[in-house]
Chains A and B, each alone.
Chain A
Amino acid sequence: MLYSGMWTGDTMTNAYELIINILTAIGVYDTIFGVFKSYGMEFVLKLIIVLVTLAVLFGFVLVTVMFLTWMERKVAAMVQSRYGPMVTGPRGLLQPVMDGIKLIGKEDIVPAKADRFVFNLAPYLAFVPAILVFVPLPFGESLIISDLRVGLLYIIAISALSPISILLAGWASNNKYTLLAAMRAVAQDISYTLPLALTAIAVVMLTGSLSTVDIVNAQSGTWFGIIPKWFIFLQPLAFILFLIASIAEMGRIPFDFQESESELIAGFFTEYSGMKFAMYFLAEYAHLFAVSGILVTIFLGGWNGPVLPGIPVVITSLVYFILKTYAVVFFAMWLRDTVPRIRIDQLLNIGWKIMIPLALLNLIVTGFLITAGVMR
């Protein structure tokens, strides 16, 4: 059968092998491999396939970001009883394209007293981690760039890189508002990465593995035939804490201190214009999607869902993952239009005095329950 390898999941663990399998199924892989082998350059073929997977990921992220900017406006418009973008394309779907064209056409301004090198570097430093986070994210069965054995640790570590770029941008702009915003963003990121990691550890205790694929596989199946075995039901407190901390990580209202436009103009990217500004936008929405995907992976069963006969699992799992992730994204957008921003000291108080103790408590209780054999 054409897709025989796709059901079993034994031979395929990531997108690289998926591509090889597809090529084999079509019947061209051996020929191509032979051509490269005759020149003694198999590694070039490997490199090409890896680059193709990365290009697909990159394209996916860019399209997603464009869609998310449109969706953000539409959700806001729904909440605020207006239409949102309607003119460019069907229901304004092409609005992000127009925005991109406009931003490319803008003058690239560097403030006179800015630190030019750091100022130019910072937007790219923001963008790179936002893309890198996607590497161990399972979009579906075997739809993963690389199933790292330390996947979850990698994700948390990469997310923790984003404050560096924010601080650099805030500092290099040589502007009091950007500096204040950068300081706030760093304080916020540090205090919310901790509960994020601590709640994720509770899940790792249940699965015994940091690999995202293992975490998703541990959530397959159901209890009593109806309740899916998602970790949200085993770890409700951890889910709530993770949700709050991840919204803080994304830097969205009610925790959008990186921006806080009514206090600090536009936050740390006040001085940026043109494509560099677009870079920050791109990074922000890529991060939104990535964090939502991580939340889905850890607590909402990842790509697990009812198996439909006749359709390859690769496709159904991708659909389930995208649907769940967009549900979380929608929640974040809905929240943004409903609640005000909290104050920076209140934010830190909640982070250190409520979130971290609760995360630790959750960890202890989970440990006891696992030892007693109640859980898992």
Chain B
Amino acid sequence: METDELLINMGPVHPSTHGVLRFKLRMDGEMITDCEIVMGYLHRGTEKLGEMKTYLQVLPYTDRLDYISAFPNNYAYVKAIEELAAIEVPLRAEYIRVLVMELNRIVNHLVSIGSLLMDIGAATMIMWGFREREKALHLFEMLCGARMTFNYIKPGGVREDLPEGFMPKLNEFLKEMEMRINDYEQLINSNEIFKMRMKGIGVITAKDAINHGLTGPALRGSGVNHDIRKLEPYSIYHDLDFKACSRPEGDSYARYMVRIDEMRESLHILRQVADTMPEATVVSSSKYGVAPMTGVPSTVSTYFPRIFTPPAGEVYSRIEAPKGELGFYIKSDGTTKPYRVKIRSPSFCNLTALSWMVKGLKIPDLIATFGTMDVVLGDVDR
């Protein structure tokens, strides 16, 4: 039968594109023959702004990249500066950093799984996910007063120590979360319709995944056990006992399961961090490691001057953000402002593979696959 090609413009305003993303779909009936992804609707010029602000002024902009998980963004940028200027960080600060980053990973996966389920028509999971996310956000609020844009991790440490009553609340959250993840699995995993929608859909093999530059759960869902926390341990990850979760199937279901597994691993990490959190300060030996300006020795940050001029040079530092590899390339010319800031954002790189993955699928599959790629548009367009 001869059919006409149908051109569908999905987005930039569409309920399932998680913001302002546009798919130009060429359809044969309900089948996608070609998918062009149009991005840039949320472009704010973060990289260019980075050249015009001082090192510390760039930090708040990193919150607004992947606004679902801002702590890893903070940390990735701070880590690059610390590597550039060889700043040493107190051990307690590193523990706090890992703590908030892993909490943020759980929050990110809750939002990701919730919106995935909502996109395929089950509205309950996002409500459950946001219920637990709210509790984590309360913890963040105790920590720095902000719920989403934290600006908390700063070069040389973190802004403030853990507030009073934080640890009991954290332990409460961890205990509850353990139970809740089982609830999610009962709601979702045993659902035949969910399996019908997810299994064998949006398959990408390990080789293709590597060639397309996928990272994070999207890559590990294809059976490649690639986790930067394991490969190049940063912060205190070499001291922690955890495993990188991966699944061999490479379909949407595998990517979803990797996220569930990672939430469990994050809980495991959080419990270790909570148990072994050090009290004492570690005096830094680098030139920035002098006493803070107030004269009171801080346990959570080394002295960081207001006018900060790192040595000329360049650095690329990467971390395992919840969505994948988040890298910051910073080139310094020895002035107070970076010469160039380049952000390698996981959402952007993962999204580019999507148009290749959805050929021959249907619109509902496009949405399901897009949901498992876990993309935040602030991170894509920067």
Q: Write the chain A residue with the least CB distance to B17.
A: A262
Instruction: Tell whether, in the assembled complex, residue B197 and residue A263 are in contact, meaning their CB atoms are under 8 Å apart.
Output: no
Chain B residues with CB under 8 A of A265 = 14-15
> In whole angstroms, what is the CA distance A344 to B361 when docked?
12
**B338-382 CB contact bits vs A (8 Å, 1 = yes)?**
000000000000000000000000111101000000000000000
Interface residues of A in 251-279 (CB under 8 A from B): 253-254, 256, 260-265
Chain B residues with CB under 8 A of A261 = 15
Instruction: Tell whether, in the assembled complex, residue A262 and residue B362 are in contact, meaning their CB atoms are under 8 Å apart.
Output: no
B119 to chain A, nearest CB (A): 5
> In whole angstroms, what is the CA distance A80 to B121 when docked?
14
Given contacts A253-B121, A260-B121, A262-B15, contact A342 B127 (CB under 8 A): no
Interchain CB contact (< 8 A) of B122 among A82, A339, A344: A339
Interchain CB contact (< 8 A) of B363 among A76, A82, A254, A263: A263
Interchain CB contact (< 8 A) of A340 among B6, B8, B15, B117: B117
Interface residues of A in 223-267 (CB under 8 A from B): 253-254, 256, 260-265
A234 to chain B, nearest CB (A): 27
Chain A residues with CB under 8 A of B363 = 263-264
Q: Write the chain B residue with the least CB distance to A253.
A: B121
Give the one of B15, B30, B123 with max A CB within 10 A. B123
> In whole angstroms, what is the CA distance A159 to B127 when docked?
34
Instruction: Tell whether, in the assembled complex, residue B14 and residue A340 are in contact, meaning their CB atoms are under 8 Å apart.
Output: no
Chain B residues with CB under 8 A of A264 = 363
Interchain CB contact (< 8 A) of A339 among B8, B127, B191, B367: B191
Chain A residues with CB under 8 A of B119 = 262
Q: Within 8 Å of chain A (Cβ to Cβ): is B196?
A: yes
A11 to chain B, nearest CB (A): 50
A341 to chain B, nearest CB (A): 3
* Total number of A residues with any Cβ neighbor in B under 8 Å: 26
Q: Write the chain B residue with the least CB distance to A184.
A: B30
Interchain CB contact (< 8 A) of B362 among A80, A256, A341, A343: A343
Instruction: Tell whether, in the assembled complex, residue B121 and residue A344 are in contact, meaning their CB atoms are under 8 Å apart.
Output: no
Chain B residues with CB under 8 A of A82 = 127
Instruction: Tell whether, in the assembled complex, residue B367 and residue A263 are in contact, meaning their CB atoms are under 8 Å apart.
Output: yes
Instruction: Tell whether, in the assembled complex, residue A338 and residue B187 are in contact, meaning their CB atoms are under 8 Å apart.
Output: yes
> In whole angstroms, what is the CA distance A81 to B117 when docked?
17
Q: Within 8 Å of chain A (Cβ to Cβ): is B193?
A: yes
> In whole angstroms, what is the CA distance A139 to B308 when docked?
80
B33 to chain A, nearest CB (A): 15
Q: Within 8 Å of chain A (Cβ to Cβ): is B118?
A: yes
Instruction: Tell whether, in the assembled complex, residue B120 and residue A340 are in contact, meaning their CB atoms are under 8 Å apart.
Output: yes
* Total number of B residues with any Cβ neighbor in A under 8 Å: 28
Chain A residues with CB under 8 A of B196 = 342-343, 346
Given contacts A263-B363, A346-B196, contact A340 B121 (CB under 8 A): yes
> In whole angstroms, what is the CA distance A339 to B197 when docked?
11
> In whole angstroms, what is the CA distance A254 to B118 when docked?
12
Q: Within 8 Å of chain A (Cβ to Cβ): is B16?
A: yes
> In whole angstroms, what is the CA distance A114 to B63 when docked?
45
Instruction: Tell whether, in the assembled complex, residue A345 and residue B122 are in contact, meaning their CB atoms are under 8 Å apart.
Output: no
Chain A residues with CB under 8 A of B230 = none
Q: Within 8 Å of chain A (Cβ to Cβ): is B67?
A: no
Interface residues of A in 66-123 (CB under 8 A from B): 76, 79-82
Interface residues of A in 141-183 (CB under 8 A from B): 176, 180
Q: Within 8 Å of chain B (Cβ to Cβ): is A337?
A: yes
Instruction: Tell whether, in the assembled complex, residue A81 and residue B197 are in contact, meaning their CB atoms are under 8 Å apart.
Output: no
Instruction: Tell whether, in the assembled complex, residue B121 and residue A337 are in contact, meaning their CB atoms are under 8 Å apart.
Output: no
Chain B residues with CB under 8 A of A344 = 30, 362, 364
Give the one of A76, A80, A342, A343 with max B CB within 10 A. A343
Q: Within 8 Å of chain A (Cβ to Cβ): is B234?
A: no
Chain B residues with CB under 8 A of A340 = 117, 120-122, 191, 193-194, 197
A76 to chain B, nearest CB (A): 7
Chain A residues with CB under 8 A of B120 = 262, 340-341
> In whole angstroms, what is the CA distance A345 to B121 when docked?
16
Interface residues of A in 325-344 (CB under 8 A from B): 337-344
Given contacts A339-B122, A341-B120, A345-B362, contact A263 B193 (CB under 8 A): no
Chain A residues with CB under 8 A of B6 = 176
Chain B residues with CB under 8 A of A342 = 193, 196-197
Chain B residues with CB under 8 A of A339 = 121-122, 191, 193-194
Given contacts A253-B121, A260-B121, A343-B196, contact A80 B16 (CB under 8 A): no
Q: Write the chain A residue with the least CB distance to B363.
A: A263
B358 to chain A, nearest CB (A): 13
Instruction: Tell whether, in the assembled complex, residue B193 and residue A254 are in contact, meaning their CB atoms are under 8 Å apart.
Output: yes
Instruction: Tell whether, in the assembled complex, residue B16 and residue A81 are in contact, meaning their CB atoms are under 8 Å apart.
Output: no
Q: Would you list 17 pairs from A and B whose C-beta atoms are within 8 A, ordered by A residue?
A: A76-B123, A81-B127, A81-B128, A253-B122, A254-B121, A256-B121, A260-B364, A262-B121, A263-B364, A338-B187, A339-B122, A341-B120, A343-B197, A344-B362, A344-B364, A345-B30, A346-B196
Q: Which residues of A approach B to under 8 Å, CB–CB?
A: 76, 79-82, 176, 180, 253-254, 256, 260-265, 337-346
